[in-house]
Amino acid sequence: MVDRRQVMMGLGGVAVSAALLGRAGIAQAAAKVSAGGKSVLIVVDVQNCFVPGGSLAVKEGDQIVPLINKIAKGFENVVMTQDWHTADHVSFASQHAGKKPFEAVKLPYGNQVLWPDHCVQGTEGAQLVKDLSIPHAQLVIRKGFHKNVDSYSAFTEADGKTTTGLGGYLKQRGIKRVFVVGLATDFCVAWTAMDARKQGFETYVIEDACRGIDAQGSLAKSWASMKAAGVKRIQSSDLA
Ligand code: VGL
Ligand code: ZN
């Protein structure tokens, strides 16, 4: 038996009014989630390479930009990330003889999907999308700048140990709750959200403010992994 208090505690202290509890007494997706001062919005990789016309374009990647701009207005704290690779980055298929984009290779730290060249440091493709408008964003964190290590996550590189410092930054600023939006749902958004959980943050992904690549079922897989990690999947309409 799950009583109402357990449901509320299970939501990690997010206030859920009785009126929003469904027939079974289980909280529905309609429960409003409030941003509050101890929250941060992480806007992941909204960069030219990842929107239509870019070298690793995510379908409809441009369509989330107005929504992200709007969501960001409700957050005092906003951090943006920027995928920021060397021109000869290990995640590029072009660096592996005989390999094509979306194939994988084994690297010392594990499996690595290979991508078209994208987000090369200092290039137009690596710039944040022009229509992204979040003037109050406090930090832009670059990632993936070590030639031999990829970093989907904004917190920890793909070797599983090199930190970007973001976790410490957020903790030192008293942040408890992390909301993630951006590109791509099944890679940088998912890895960022799962690492946020690992570091002890209450973590939400705002699904309609993300778009996925969905290579070989990766989108469904990533949602399953996020669920298992305790990441909460919400819609922008769930925000208070
Ligand atoms: C991403 C693949 C390679 C992402 C970045 O932003 O999701 N995906 N680099
Ligand atoms: Zn990348």
Q: What is the pLDDT of residue 30?
A: 59
Q: What is the pLDDT of residue 37?
A: 78
CA of 114 to the centre of ligand 2 (A): 9
List pocket residues of ligand 1, CB cut-off 6 Å: 45, 50, 83, 115, 152, 183-184, 187-188
**Domain assignment of residue 208, yes or no:** yes
pLDDT at 103 over 60: yes
Question: 25 pLDDT band (50/70/90 cuts)?
Answer: low
C-alpha to C-alpha distances, 70 to 124, 125, 165, 216, 236, nearest whole angstrom? 25, 24, 27, 32, 10
Average pLDDT, integer, range 48-73: 98
**Domain assignment of residue 98, yes or no:** no
**Domain assignment of residue 212, yes or no:** yes
In total, how many domains does the chain have? 1
Nearest Cα residue to 214 out of 186, 177, 235, 179: 186
CATH of residue 190's domain is 3.40.50.850
Could you tell me the residue range of the domain that residue 171 belongs to? 4-11+38-84+118-234
Nearest Cα residue to 82 out of 55, 42, 113: 42
Q: What is the pLDDT of residue 161?
A: 96
Pocket test for ligand 1, best of 44, 45, 64 (most atoms within 8 A of CB): 45
Distance in angstroms (rounded) separating the CA atoms of residues 169 and 172: 5
Q: What pTM was computed for the model? A: 0.88
Alpha helix positions (H), the chain: 4-10, 65-72, 166-172, 190-198, 218-228
Average pLDDT, integer, range 190-219: 97
**Domain assignment of residue 240, yes or no:** no
Nearest Cα residue to 112 out of 90, 142, 95: 90
Average pLDDT, integer, range 183-211: 98
Average pLDDT, integer, range 8-16: 43
**Domain assignment of residue 101, yes or no:** no
Which runs of E-coded beta strand occur in the chain?
39-44, 78-83, 104-107, 110-113, 139-143, 177-183, 202-211, 232-234
**Domain assignment of residue 202, yes or no:** yes
The closest residue, in CA terms, to atom 8 on ligand 1 is: 187
Residue found by looking up tokens 């819609």 in the block:
235
Could you give the residue numbers annotated as active site? 45, 143, 188
Q: What is the pLDDT of residue 123?
A: 98
Q: What is the pLDDT of residue 6?
A: 41
Q: Which residue has better confidence, 91 or 7?
A: 91
End-to-end CA distance of the chain: 29
Distance in angstroms (rounded) separating the CA atoms of residues 84 and 143: 6
Pocket test for ligand 1, best of 152, 164, 183 (most atoms within 8 A of CB): 152
**Domain assignment of residue 109, yes or no:** no
* Strand, helix or coil for residue 127: coil
Q: What is the pLDDT of residue 26?
A: 54
**Domain assignment of residue 93, yes or no:** no
Q: 212: which residues sit within 8 A by CB, 6+ positions away?
A: 58, 184, 185, 186, 218, 219, 222
The closest residue, in CA terms, to atom 4 on ligand 1 is: 188
Residue type, 52: P
Residue type, 156: T
The closest residue, in CA terms, to atom 9 on ligand 1 is: 152
* Strand, helix or coil for residue 65: helix
pLDDT at 16 over 50: no
Q: Which is the closest atom of ligand 1 to the Cα of 44? A: 6
Question: 24 pLDDT band (50/70/90 cuts)?
Answer: low
* % of the chain at pLDDT higher than 70: 88
Question: 34 pLDDT band (50/70/90 cuts)?
Answer: confident
Angle between helices 190-198 and 218-228 (to 10 degrees): 10
pLDDT digits (tens, 9 = 90+) for 152-172: 999 999 999 999 999 999 999
Q: What is the pLDDT of residue 31?
A: 73
Distance in angstroms (rounded) separating the CA atoms of residues 116 and 113: 10
Mean pLDDT of the chain: 91
pLDDT at 10 over 50: no
Distance in angstroms (rounded) separating the CA atoms of residues 103 and 127: 26
CA of 218 to the centre of ligand 1 (A): 12
pLDDT at 19 over 70: no
pLDDT digits (tens, 9 = 90+) for 62-84: 999 999 999 999 999 999 999 99
162, β-bridge pairs? none
